[in-house]
A and B are shown apart, each in its own frame.
Chain A
């Protein structure tokens, strides 16, 4: 820890406050704009809104299809994260606990997926999804997100499980417990911290993703939040008051969740990037 004297501290506080201001300003601008009309935005871009009416909100919510988009994003994120958790923890457990032929190979094979920029394979994914009738389908997105989430999640879970002591399990195995019992009763409950990391990292990645919906979805009833905003931005360009409102509706629940759970987010994302 660096020790600063009072003068240095003051300087550091000032710098950090300016930095916070730079971060908050864009958010506050769309927040204030969401209460203004177009005229007000042009004439008084700096000032607080003259009245706090929610007219823009109902309009933007409807026109940007945000109700549907929120439901879709929620379904896709929930099911993707749950299925990532299930399949990744299953295989991580097998890789961590049992010796079997090709174990090391399978592990490296899956981990090498960390190195594959999955988006580059979008052309075959697109044609494959088309053949499977999974374009314009939430299930299609869920499947893709599950696949792209596997390498990272297996990596985190396997390393964590490696550190969980194995003595209890060995005696349980002696007593005739099945691998499934050991997994569900002993290993999974002990792996909670790693499961939290996997949940958070994948939640953020799936919720925010815009690329796969852009390619795979063109039916408005199936669009997710980032795609809905993109379409809206294209259709209603110049209607800045509505665009601001739609953007604010799209970001503020995430901001609330983030501040409420910031401890988990921060440790999860740091561990997620580089162990």
Chain B
């Protein structure tokens, strides 16, 4: 339909202006700022690519790559466990059992609770003295396994990943289940008619037909893994202890930009450089995600 452009402006402008002012402009400004040294109040000093050099090759490179490594590790673990468990549980629910809705709802419950609150709840469960986890291990005679899960550099990161899985797996169950339910029932009928076992049905029908869902979810997980912050903040603080064993780019970014006890530098320019570096890694996949979602919605 056609009307005068002028008449459409009241429809277009509010969203466009808010979006440009508070999303696009800050992004552009982050790029700009990453070439400066600035403590937030005084004058901005142009330093060229020094911030990037410092992060990638200089004083902070050890910390940067330590955090980056953790992000990658988190991404791999979450892909295996969240997608894996999500698929398994969704498959269990896509059967002729009763109460699918109820189980589905319960599975999704943790996902609607703020991640930071989930973190706090689990930090109590994991409390070395009275936390349920260690108490449980002692009760079933595995007391030797009890340990300060969040205080031990060898277990802290995996513990954080576990808490993440606990909260988020329901989301993957939901999405996977929706994908499985979308499969035409005739395919199952035909397979059973031919005498296929359940095992075969899962691997020959359900799995191949949910591959596109897996693809989108892996991309989404990559983006989320590089944005992880709340859960580390809640369980280990911005210092990402013990000994930075749970440090991720999000907490590193926070420390460089806004400080934190005992942090070496607080420089908004340096912080912006960290943001730009994360952005560079995430943006190709983010665009891929937008592309995938756009393509799907067209069908």
B11 touches A94 (CB 8 A): yes
In Å, the complex CA distance between A177 and B17 comes to 27
B27 touches A210 (CB 8 A): no
Within 8 A of B (CB), among A210-226: 210-211, 214-215, 225-226
Instruction: Among A25, A95, A125, find the residue whose CB has the most chain B CB atoms closer than 10 A.
Output: A125
Is B144 in the interface zone, CB < 8 Å from A?
no
Cβ-closest chain A residue relative to B256: A123
The 5 lowest CB-CB distance pairs between A and B, nearest first, are A115-B286, A147-B22, A121-B26, A208-B114, A124-B26
Cβ-closest chain B residue relative to A183: B11
B95 touches A1 (CB 8 A): yes
Residues of A within 8 A of B (CB): 1-4, 8-9, 12-13, 15-16, 19-20, 22-27, 29-30, 33, 41-42, 45-46, 86-88, 90-91, 93-95, 97-101, 106, 110-125, 127-128, 143-144, 146-148, 150-151, 154-155, 159, 166, 169-170, 173, 178-180, 183, 204, 207-211, 214-215, 225-226, 229-230, 233, 240, 243-244, 247, 250-251, 254-255, 258-259, 262, 265-266, 269-270, 273-275
Q: A99 is contacted by which of B2, B233, B294 (Cβ under 8 Å)?
A: B2
A114 touches B11 (CB 8 A): no
B117 touches A247 (CB 8 A): yes
B105 touches A262 (CB 8 A): yes
Instruction: Among B19, B110, B253, find the residue whose CB has the most chain A CB atoms closer than 10 A.
Output: B19
Contacts of A13 in B (CB 8 A): 97
Spot the interface stretch: B47-55, B57-65, B145-153, B223-231.
B223-231
B1 touches A173 (CB 8 A): yes
In Å, the complex CA distance between A148 and B19 comes to 8
> Interface residues of B: mostly helix, strand, loop or mixed?
helix
In Å, the complex CA distance between A1 and B177 comes to 11
B124 touches A113 (CB 8 A): no
Contacts of A87 in B (CB 8 A): 14-15, 18
Is B73 in the interface zone, CB < 8 Å from A?
no
In Å, the complex CA distance between A117 and B41 comes to 26
A23 touches B15 (CB 8 A): no
Contacts of B106 in A (CB 8 A): 20, 23-24
A208 touches B113 (CB 8 A): yes
Q: How does the 8 Å CB contact mask read for B4-37 relative to A, with 1 for contact and 0 for none?
A: 0101101110111011011111110110010000
In Å, the complex CA distance between A91 and B17 comes to 11
| Given pairs A20-B106, A115-B286, A179-B3, 14 additional interface contacts (CB within 8 A) | A26-B122, A91-B14, A94-B11, A112-B287, A117-B223, A123-B271, A150-B15, A150-B23, A179-B8, A229-B120, A251-B121, A254-B112, A265-B108, A274-B220
Is B116 in the interface zone, CB < 8 Å from A?
yes
Instruction: Among A9, A90, A115, A230, find the residue whose CB has the most chain B CB atoms closer than 10 A.
Output: A115
Cβ-closest chain A residue relative to B250: A119
In Å, the complex CA distance between A15 and B90 comes to 12
Query: Interface residue tally of chain B, by bracket?
Result: 35 or more
Contacts of A269 in B (CB 8 A): 108, 111, 171, 174
In Å, the complex CA distance between A26 and B216 comes to 31
Cβ-closest chain A residue relative to B134: A45
Instruction: Among B95, B131, B216, B279, find the residue whose CB has the most chain A CB atoms closer than 10 A.
Output: B95
Contacts of B19 in A (CB 8 A): 110, 113, 147, 150-151
Contacts of A98 in B (CB 8 A): 1-3, 8
In Å, the complex CA distance between A268 and B250 comes to 28
Contacts of A4 in B (CB 8 A): 95-97, 198
> What are 18 A-B pairs at a CB distance below 8 A?
A12-B97, A16-B89, A26-B121, A29-B125, A30-B124, A94-B11, A95-B12, A110-B16, A111-B294, A116-B27, A119-B229, A124-B272, A151-B23, A155-B297, A226-B114, A240-B130, A262-B105, A275-B297
A112 touches B290 (CB 8 A): yes
In Å, the complex CA distance between A251 and B112 comes to 9
Cβ-closest chain A residue relative to B216: A274
Q: B286 is contacted by which of A117, A180, A183, A265 (Cβ under 8 Å)?
A: A117
Closest CB-CB distance, B238 to chain A, in whole Å?
Answer: 10
Contacts of B188 in A (CB 8 A): 1-3
Cβ-closest chain A residue relative to B269: A123
Q: B107 is contacted by which of A19, A215, A254 (Cβ under 8 Å)?
A: A19
B12 touches A94 (CB 8 A): yes
Cβ-closest chain A residue relative to B25: A124
B289 touches A114 (CB 8 A): yes
A22 touches B26 (CB 8 A): no
Cβ-closest chain A residue relative to B27: A121
Contacts of B226 in A (CB 8 A): 117
A215 touches B258 (CB 8 A): yes
Closest CB-CB distance, B120 to chain A, in whole Å?
Answer: 5
Q: B113 is contacted by which of A41, A125, A214, A251 (Cβ under 8 Å)?
A: A251
Cβ-closest chain B residue relative to A129: B22
Cβ-closest chain A residue relative to B224: A117
Q: B290 is contacted by which of A86, A111, A258, A266 (Cβ under 8 Å)?
A: A111
Contacts of B107 in A (CB 8 A): 19, 23
